[in-house]
Amino acid sequence: MDILSETIAALRTGNPASGLFIRHAPWGRRYPVVPGVGFHVVLQGSCWVIPPSGEPMAMGPGDVLLMPRGADHDLADDPRSPITEMARPGEPREIPGPGARTALLCGAYELGRRRSHPLVDDLPEFIHLPARPGRHPSLRAAVDLLAGEIAEPRPGSDAAIPALLDSLLLFILRAWFDEQAEARATGWSGAFTDPAVATTLRAIHTAPERAWTVPELSDLAGVSRATLARRFTATVGEPPLSYLTRWRMLTAARLLRETDTPLAAVARRVGYQSEFAFAKAFKREYGSAPGQYRRAEDKPEVIAV
């Protein structure tokens, strides 16, 4: 079980959005909060990221910026340039001018709005991955392929672009967690590298329907119950059985969004023999009954990039 892929798949909803933007200095563009994850990649030139608080961040060719919770921010050729644009549907992709040229690949992913995951909650508001020779070759390749498909669409681009966008998000997160592991940082990077925690996560993700107990999970992980509870909570952010409930609900929500599986079958898939008990637990977490949730999630949001 690939924990990162399964987690992102459980959180993702709708279709990703992306666009290629070309601006000539001076320019400034405002990006409001989006209901998901936003990203920018500098393909040519340079720009500055101006967060609501804190210092501006310089970005150069090949740099990647991820906003895990869709934080609002400004982009500009210079921190002193006025902000004259707002990201919205139908905006021109290229604005000519006499100044230096900047080409940006911008996009966003919609996430489930009612239940988060500690993997995303643990991330900083802005993740900046500077381009470095020899670092993260998979990420660099995904950026190049995606930029090429968007700049010069060819037969099959409509299928290739969403798949490349999905891959890009995973490669960005993988690069971030790899860098955190190298720096021996705490949090989810530790969850992926701690054998006992990773084993427990794989067991929960593989069989959420099983009535797991802490003794069973600790035996599987090869550590004591106290050790597993301590290390799991320190990296994942909650005890093993609390995470089991979270994963069951995220799995159920994904099944309700993406399939026509009957509610009784969804309940069994996530460890509930009674449809009533499942509905009660689901409503406690999501604020609505499973059937209501399924109907509401049929209306995707439109994200401007």
Q: What is the pLDDT of residues 173-222, one digit of tens each?
A: 999 999 888 877 778 888 888 999 999 999 999 999 999 999 999 999 99
Percent of the chain clearing pLDDT 70 (strictly above): 96
| Residue 141 located in a structural domain | yes
Q: Which has the higher per-residue pLDDT, 94 or 90?
A: 94
Residues β-bridged to residue 47: 59
Domain-embedded: residue 96: yes
The amino acid that residue 5 corresponds to is: S
Per-residue model confidence (pLDDT) at position 116: 80
| Cα angle for residues 179, 193, 285 (degrees, 5° grid) | 95
Closest CA to 173 of 70, 72, 64: 64
Q: 182, 213, 228: which is the final residue of a domain?
A: 182
Q: Does residue 187 form part of some domain?
A: no
d(CA 4, CA 104): 27
Boundary residue ending a domain (158, 182, 206): 182
- How high is the mean pLDDT of the chain? 91
Q: Tell me if 189 is assigned to some domain.
A: no
Q: Inform me whether the pLDDT recorded for 79 exceeds 70.
A: yes
Domain identity same for 264 and 211: yes
| pLDDT higher than 70, residue 302 | no
Question: Taking residues 7-15, what's their average pLDDT?
Answer: 86
pLDDT score for 202:
96
How does residue 299 score in pLDDT terms, banded at 50, 70 and 90? Answer: low
**pLDDT tens track for 113-170:** 667 888 888 899 999 999 988 889 999 999 999 988 988 889 999 999 989 999 999 9
Q: Are residues 18 and 106 in the same domain?
A: yes
0.95 exceeded by the pTM?
A: no
Environment class of 75 (CB within 10 Å of its CB; exposed 0-12, middle 13-18, buried 19+): buried
78 with 203, same domain: the answer is no
Looking at the fold, whether 157 and 230 belong to one and the same domain comes out as no
Instruction: State yes or no: pLDDT of 300 exceeds 70.
Output: no
pLDDT of residue 211: 96
Q: What per-residue string of b and e applies to 133-146 under the rule 16 or more CB within 10 Å gives b? A: eeebeebbebbebb
Please check whether residue 83 lies inside any domain of the structure: yes
Same domain, 199 and 97: no
| pLDDT tens per residue, range 216-262 | 999 999 999 999 999 999 999 999 999 999 999 999 999 999 999 99
Residues 169 and 202 in one domain: no
222 and 150 housed in the same domain: no
What pLDDT sits at residue 303? 56
User: Does the pLDDT at position 301 exceed 60?
Assistant: no
Q: Does 157 lie in the same domain as 39?
A: yes
Instruction: Examine the fold and report which residue of 149, 182, 215 is the final residue of a domain before the chain moves on.
Output: 182
CATH number of residue 8's parent domain = 2.60.120.280
Whether residue 305 is contained in a domain is answered as no
Q: How many domains does the chain have?
A: 2
In terms of domains, do 221 and 122 share one?
A: no
CATH code where residue 289 lies: 1.10.10.60
Task: Find the range with the poorest average confidence among 29-43, 185-199, 268-282.
Answer: 185-199
- Considering the domain boundaries, does residue 101 fall inside one? yes
Query: Are 178 and 213 members of one domain?
Result: no
- pLDDT class of 70 with cuts at 50, 70, 90: very high
- Domain match, 87 and 44 both: yes
Q: What is the pLDDT of residue 298?
A: 55
Residue 87 forms part of a structural domain: yes
Confidence (pLDDT) at 235: 92
User: Given the structure tokens 């599987």, which residue do they identify?
Assistant: 220
Domain around 17: 3-182
- Predicted confidence at residue 182, as pLDDT, reads 83
Based on the fold, state whether residues 122 and 209 are members of the same structural domain.
no
